[in-house]
Amino acid sequence: MAEGRGNRNGHVLVPLAALIRRELRSEKMEKPSVRYGCAAQSKKGEDYFLMKTDCQRVPGNPSSTFSVFAIFDGHNGNAAAIYTRENLLSHVMSAVPRGLGRDEWLQALPRALVAGFVKTDKEFQSRGETSGTTATFVIVDGWTVTVASVGDSRCILDAQGGAVSTLTVDHRLEENVEERERVSASGGEVGRLSIVGGAEIGPLRCWPGGLCLSRSIGDMDVGEFIVPIPYVKQVKLSNAGGRLIIASDGIWDALSSEDAAKSCRGLPAELAARQVVKEALKTWGLKDDTTCIVVDIIPPDDLSTPPPPPKKQSKLRALLFRKRSHDSATKLSKKLSAVGIVEELFEEGSAMLAERLGNDECNKQSTSGLFVCAICQVDLAPSEGISVHAGSIFSISSKPWQGPFLCADCRNKKDAMEGKRPSRVKVV
Ligand SMILES: [Zn+2]
């Protein structure tokens, strides 16, 4: 498992004591630095992005700084993309319980991201505007990268050593069989556009609405089986750092993940983003909005150079994801980080809210002593809250009177997303 880097005896396994020593050294190291750049070519003016490197987990404490990078690729207008760019971050942060230490905060993010995405969708829909958007939302805190996404704006990781992996799942009906089955089971009809004469053209879409995506924010004129529940993945990079490439489908329709990563290796982030866009346009031409963000996570003793091209690489082991075991998670994480392996801390893509919000061991109460809705964070009287598990098939293993709780409105939203309530699609 462990690579013998630094082991002069040539043994394959590094003694645990050495790993721990190395890790202690790395814990003392500063956080990695983050360099980033963005490039875009507009065709329809529906791509939006966010790059914010001064977010603070504890307001006023600079050592709790983290960064957010996101792409929102709108359709049927730009209102949903703009609204999501303005509101998603604050909705996610308001769903993280107060007063957590860094590790607990990172552990709370996957659930807060689900709540923040659903809240943003619900609020945008309540404005009565049409349009929808993809959202690929990346939080970088030290070596830990947390990605949440709906739609097909992909985020890839080019780890040191040249291994490219995808941190998102494409929610496209054409390619994603699982999502196609979910949409059909929730009452959506999946098919291609028929033209006069009966011929079917274009990608698979869901009807009503004709959207090619299976998840998005907004889209109130499409069925509510098009859900805003994000796929979430959290990884911890090794101390060698790595590069993230976040881009809208204008890039991915033209380039594979590998090609995008390869096209810009050795360039600093700003130039790398431009290079990826240039490469995509060369292959494909400007057919769609094309936006690319490149984020380099650079070890503190390597501030001057961008990630070197693969031929100059040390013989770091190829990227290897490791599932973490529940009891020894922290120890394992430290060991893996020390030997140059990217560790997978969390991965979940279910569209079922009950699965994504999990169980509350103790009832979460707001500071006012009331219960709060796990999605929109409004205060609830104890009699008002409906358990997210009530009446669901998951209630076998969990108690229906146990939290998290939802307000009546969010409970309706949940039922609609699961196809248990007529969707509020307006038939014109
Ligand atoms: Zn609510």
pLDDT, one tens digit per residue, over 203-214 is: 999 988 899 999
Model pTM score: 0.84
Query: Is 166 in a helix, a strand, or coil?
Result: strand
Our CA dihedral for 327, 331, 337, 342, rounded to 10 degrees, sits at -10
Using a 10 angstrom Cβ sphere, with 0-12 exposed, 13-18 middle and 19 or more buried, the burial of residue 75 is buried
CA of 375 to the centre of ligand 1 (A): 5
**Given this model, what pLDDT does residue 303 score?**
46
**Percentage above 90 pLDDT, the chain:** 62
CA of 393 to the centre of ligand 1 (A): 21
b vs e for 216-225, b when ≥16 Cβ sit within 10 Å of the residue's Cβ?
bbbbbbbbbb
**Percentage above 70 pLDDT, the chain:** 77
Contact present, 43 and 287 (Cβ < 8 Å): yes
Rounded to whole angstroms, the Cα distance separating 75 from 47 reads 9
**Looking at residues 267-292, what average pLDDT do you find?**
93
CA of 82 to the centre of ligand 1 (A): 23
Rounded to whole angstroms, the Cα distance separating 279 from 98 reads 44
The confidence band for 155, taking pLDDT boundaries of 50, 70 and 90, is very high
**Given this model, what pLDDT does residue 40 score?**
96
**Given this model, what pLDDT does residue 230 score?**
98
Closest CA to 364 of 99, 87, 83: 99
Q: Residue 158's beta-bridge partner residues?
A: 164, 243
CA of 385 to the centre of ligand 1 (A): 9
Q: Which residue ranges does the chain devote to CATH 3.60.40.10? A: 16-171+228-348
Question: Is the confidence at residue 365, as pLDDT, over 70?
Answer: no
Q: Which CATH class is domain 16-171+228-348?
A: alpha beta
Distances 11 to 19, 102, 304, 313 between C-alpha atoms, Å: 14, 36, 33, 21
Question: Is the confidence at residue 245, as pLDDT, over 90?
Answer: yes
CA of 94 to the centre of ligand 1 (A): 13
pLDDT in tens, 218-244: 999 888 899 999 999 999 999 899 999
The confidence band for 370, taking pLDDT boundaries of 50, 70 and 90, is low
Rounded to whole angstroms, the Cα distance separating 300 from 92 reads 29
Residue whose tokens read 């994000």? 230
Residues, Cβ < 5 Å to ion ligand 1: 373, 375-376, 407, 410
pLDDT in tens, 93-143: 999 998 999 999 999 999 999 999 999 999 999 999 999 999 999 999 999
**Which range scores top for mean pLDDT: 25-34, 262-271, 376-385, 398-407?**
262-271
CA of 409 to the centre of ligand 1 (A): 6
The confidence band for 19, taking pLDDT boundaries of 50, 70 and 90, is low
Count of C-beta atoms within a 10 Å radius of residue 55: 16
